[in-house]
Chain A
Amino acid sequence: MIRIPKGVEEAIRAHGAKDYPRECVGALLGGLDGEIRIVQEARPLPNTFDPSWEADVRGGAIEDVPGQERRYLVSPDAMFRLLREERETGVKVLGFYHSHPDHPARPSVFDRDWASPWYIYCILSVRQGVPQELTAWQLDEAGDAFLEEPIEIV
């Protein structure tokens, strides 16, 4: 279960609309109340995806070259800084959000394959520039399925 204040939800939706037709990405920062994650801040992060990264990962040239309309990547430096900030301030990185331009807010195989355990991944569908449904997901125990988490907007 993840609790998101209305203002933060609006910020996520605004970010998704702003970066459309590219995928936006950001970190969800906050704390834990038992099993429930309480989001305090949705921090936009630059989407640093570029096709050479994918070529690198797949080990060679790729035919179907995706762009930022279909991919997001947080630079390792940005992630490193987030984790350092987490250790220094105690405000936890609860997970991440990203948008799916003109696609449903459901994870793809790619989303699942790249997901880390424990983190919550929020997906915002943005159709024709207009933000739509927001969903949340977490990797299951075995690591091969993404299970939907309920979102409570407060």
Chain B
Amino acid sequence: MPKILVPTSLQQFVGGNDEINVGGTTVKEALDQLLERYPDLKKHLYNDKGELRHFVNIYKGADDTRALQGLETPVTDTDELSIVPSIAGGVGVEMARINPNALLPEERVEAVSFSNEEILRYSRHLILPEVGLEGQKRLKAAKVLLIGAGGLGSPLALYLAAAGIGTIGLVDFDAVDLTNLQRQVIHGTNDVGRSKLESAKETILDINPHVEVIGFEERFTSQNALEIARDFDIIIDGTDNFPTRYLTNDVCALLGKPNVYGSIFRFEGQASVFWAGHGPCYRCLFPEPPPPGLVPSCAEGGVLGVLPGIVGCIQAIEAIKLILGIGNPLIGRLLTFNALKVQFRELRLRRDPACPLCGENPTIHELIDYEEFCGIRGEEAPPPQLDAIEEITVRELKRRMDSGEKLTIIDVREPHEYAIARIPGTRLIPLGQIEERANELDPNQEIILHCRSGKRSAEALLKLKAKGFKNLKNLKGGILAWSEEIDPSVPKY
């Protein structure tokens, strides 16, 4: 049987094979048999008119069939046909990285008009050749959804508003807290206690009254995500928890929209653009969420305030590049940033063919229960193990301290937390060291454990219990409760 040799560049369309045996008495028949087996190859070989594209040459033995009888060239059983790609190129119009019309419908862009005030406002954009009036129209036509109006959402909202994005959607159900102000620069001191949505909307409109702000003062969940995201062109992930990250990713993949991702932790940040169909999705990179409690949130791990400023701005730049169709978006690349070293690194990402969402054989066709996926029952419901933990309230502890009782109280926080605030009469053994330093403690004695809020000390308790400690109690609510109910002079942090 004649065989067809396939170059590496096309092997992905023929099941990874480099040699395929087919039948047929002409080149056309042989190719048709090949395409029957591997229909994905068709667009690489034939144009719309059924002619062999100039993109490929078919060789019979060492002869180009174009110099023989073309597709009608006869083939025999012992002939070897080779698909030889054309290698050509040259300078010309510089290519736009992504076809921008894939993102915004042309009619919507054409319908945009500007007042004189807007022309003046955006003058610094308009004089950039890569933006111009056409680009600014695209920005105004665009609808961008921000999930989260916090650390990442702040710079995003500020700069996207300044850039003239026509519609900014905001999803956030939280109220502004004092601890937010260290990094969430869209909110101010007078906003503490207010809805983040209201506060952000006000600042956005102050920067640029031409922006239409659509607020969603609710949690982004499987129940509402598709409805909310459907009307937007680009979704920007500014969330702070894994269930929402996976939800955002899945919604984007199901709707075919780009997911501009950003994340921060202490001094490091990451950014990428996940766009199923154009590159990998979040699940290609992280198919499994980490076990709950392993990756602390900002509240638990801390973060350098200005870091989300940098990452959020990078996300804003990516969104703008996608809308304008200029530059190289971070599709297929994970940008990592280390603030201490001022180091930017890039990791090449690829779509995982086995990805259940965007791979060859997707199994995910609808949104799932993300809390369950991430192993979390929900913030209100405590993990089942807590039922097996004995607790002591701060009032009870205070009462026993005042009565002169000698107590062993172990603080399992980190040294720098101990320096900020401590409960008197406690000893510091950080959670990470509790197992190896357990021999410093008496397993038969009553030991009270505390941390900031009661979570880490519960973990410490379970670790000691596993080592045979009999008499353990967890201080309910931690030092926060102590500050709240017993001694307000102890700072909360």
Residues of chain A at the chain B interface (Cβ within 8 Å):
1, 23, 25, 35, 49, 56-57, 66, 70-74, 76-77, 79-80, 83-84, 86-87, 92-93, 96, 98, 100-101, 103-104, 106-112, 114-119, 121, 140-142, 144-150
Q: How far is the CB of A2 from chain B (nearest CB, A)?
A: 10
- CB-contact partner of A83 in B82, B98, B331, under 8 A: B82
- CB-contact partner of A70 in B57, B90, B99, under 8 A: B90
Tell me the complex Cα distance, A34–B348, Å: 13
Is B198 close to A, CB under 8 A?
Answer: no
**17 A-B pairs in the complex with CB atoms less than 8 angstroms apart:** A71-B90, A73-B86, A79-B85, A79-B87, A107-B94, A108-B95, A111-B90, A111-B92, A111-B95, A114-B86, A114-B89, A116-B9, A118-B11, A141-B279, A141-B351, A146-B95, A149-B348
Q: Is the interface of A mostly helix, strand, loop or mixed?
A: mixed
Contacts of B82 in A (CB 8 A): 80, 83-84
Tell me the complex Cα distance, A49–B87, Å: 10
Cβ contact within 8 Å between B88 and A76: no
Is B363 close to A, CB under 8 A?
Answer: no
Is B262 close to A, CB under 8 A?
Answer: no
Contacts of A147 in B (CB 8 A): 97, 279, 328, 331-333
Q: How far is the CB of B67 from chain A (nearest CB, A)?
A: 9
Nearest CB to that of B83 among chain A residues? A83
Q: How far is the CB of B219 from chain A (nearest CB, A)?
A: 32
Cβ contact within 8 Å between A80 and B84: yes
Contacts of A76 in B (CB 8 A): 57, 59, 64, 66, 84, 86
Cβ contact within 8 Å between A80 and B90: no
Tell me the complex Cα distance, A143–B474, Å: 58
B:277-309 near A, CB below 8 Å: 277-279
Is B72 close to A, CB under 8 A?
Answer: no
With contact pairs A141-B279, A149-B348 given, residues A70 and B12 touching in the complex (Cβ less than 8 Å): no
Q: How far is the CB of A59 from chain B (nearest CB, A)?
A: 10
With contact pairs A140-B279, A146-B97 given, residues A114 and B88 touching in the complex (Cβ less than 8 Å): yes
Tell me the complex Cα distance, A116–B348, Å: 19
Contacts of A49 in B (CB 8 A): 88, 90
Cβ contact within 8 Å between B87 and A106: no
Contacts of B279 in A (CB 8 A): 140-141, 147
Cβ contact within 8 Å between B5 and A83: yes
Tell me the complex Cα distance, A111–B87, Å: 10
Tell me the complex Cα distance, A137–B97, Å: 11
- CB-contact partner of A87 in B5, B99, B278, under 8 A: B5
Q: How far is the CB of A126 from chain B (nearest CB, A)?
A: 11
Other 19 A-B pairs with CB < 8 A, given A142-B278, A150-B346:
A23-B91, A73-B86, A73-B88, A76-B59, A79-B84, A80-B84, A83-B7, A93-B8, A107-B94, A108-B91, A108-B93, A108-B95, A111-B90, A116-B55, A116-B87, A145-B97, A145-B331, A146-B97, A147-B328
